[in-house]
Structure 1
Amino acid sequence: MKTQQHIKLAQLTALISFLLGTGIFGFYFLTSSFELLCIVYNFIVLTGLVNLLILISILVKANNDKYNRKKVFTTCGVMLLNIPVMLFYLWIAGILLNTMRITFTNPTQATLTNINIVGCGGGHIDTLESGKSQTVWVEITGDCSLNINYLSDGLPKEENVAGYLTPLMGQKMTHNIGGQNKKQF
């Protein structure tokens, strides 16, 4: 294979790795699908091996082709840029794994006020009008449960949101305040 072909292969591999990795990360961010984590792990291992083999191949080519050495090293740098991107995505995924993203919806006819999220990292919503929703990110600080207490037409109410949470159990869900149905995404 000629040096230019090696360079094009390396550039294409770097681009495809970046685009697929970003797509998978974006899908995970939107869904918090636990099953997707297995795909992510396999993707990281497979693309890491493929990129490493191509990187070694292109470095050998650089050693043998002094004329194109600068282009080859530049291409190696482009390939290596995927490493900090991957580390950033893993860092964000770690945050998501330790966070409940709960969309609270008010299906009642009353305006709900002083909504306190009790447990884990906690949270607060001042007012939630009838038919409106608000998403709250709650950090999972350890083994905990989530409850809310709030005022509905001035009357105190309390209900369970999640019975048991533990680190690395973060997910995206909805909770209808005043109702019992919860939907996980």
Structure 2
Amino acid sequence: MKDLIFFGKLIAFLSFTLGTVLLALFLYFEKSPDIGNLGFYFITSALVVNSLLFSVNAIAILIDKKHRIELLKTCGIMLFNIPIALLYLYIIIYAVELNSKF
């Protein structure tokens, strides 16, 4: 169970870090379509991986009473990425819209 907790936190951290790097690259390279496409594929794959891992953690919460608190914390960390991703989406939409008006 400790491996599941560690892996959940690791995936959440990597998703946050890679998403932030891709956003920074997208803005730095003046909204490059290549980086935009890469970001789209990253978001799609991160959504699938994080959803599966979150589901496994949620099932483990029901089964393993000994590690329930740690598993809940891990799920919370994973859920924390959702508002960050929405903020990044807002930034991208605003940047693209701002660029298209000029």
What interval of TM-score do these two structures reach, taking the shorter chain for normalisation?
A: over 0.9
Partner of 2:17: 19
Residue type at the aligned position of 1:83: I
Instruction: From the CA coordinates, give the structure whose radius of gyration is larger.
Output: 1
Partners of 1:52 and 1:45 lie apart in 2 by 11
Partners of 1:8 and 1:75 lie apart in 2 by 8
The 5 Å alignment of 1:3-152 reads: 3-31=1-29, 32-100=31-99, 140=101
Q: Residue deviations 1:28-78, cap 9 Å, x none?
A: 011111222111111111000000111111111111111211110111000
Partners of 2:23 and 2:71 lie apart in 1 by 29
Residue type at the aligned position of 1:19: T
Between the two proteins, the alignment pairs up a number of residues equal to 101
- Relative to its length, the structure with more strand (as a share) is 1
Q: Residue deviations 1:82-108, cap 9 Å, x none?
A: 1111100000000111123xxxxxxxx
Structure 1 residue matching 2:66: 3-state secondary structure:
coil
Taking structure 2 as the reference length, what is the TM-score of the superposition?
0.93
Structure 2 residue matching 1:87: 3-state secondary structure:
helix
Partner of 1:165: none
Taking structure 1 as the reference length, what is the TM-score of the superposition?
0.53
Partners of 2:91 and 2:64 lie apart in 1 by 40
Residue type at the aligned position of 1:63: L
Partners of 1:35 and 1:12 lie apart in 2 by 27
Partners of 2:33 and 2:4 lie apart in 1 by 37
Structure 2 residue matching 1:98: 3-state secondary structure:
helix
Tell me the CA shift for residue 81 of structure 1.
Answer: 0.6
Structure 1 residue matching 2:65: 3-state secondary structure:
coil
Give RMSD over aligned pairs. 1.2
- Relative to its length, the structure with more helix (as a share) is 2
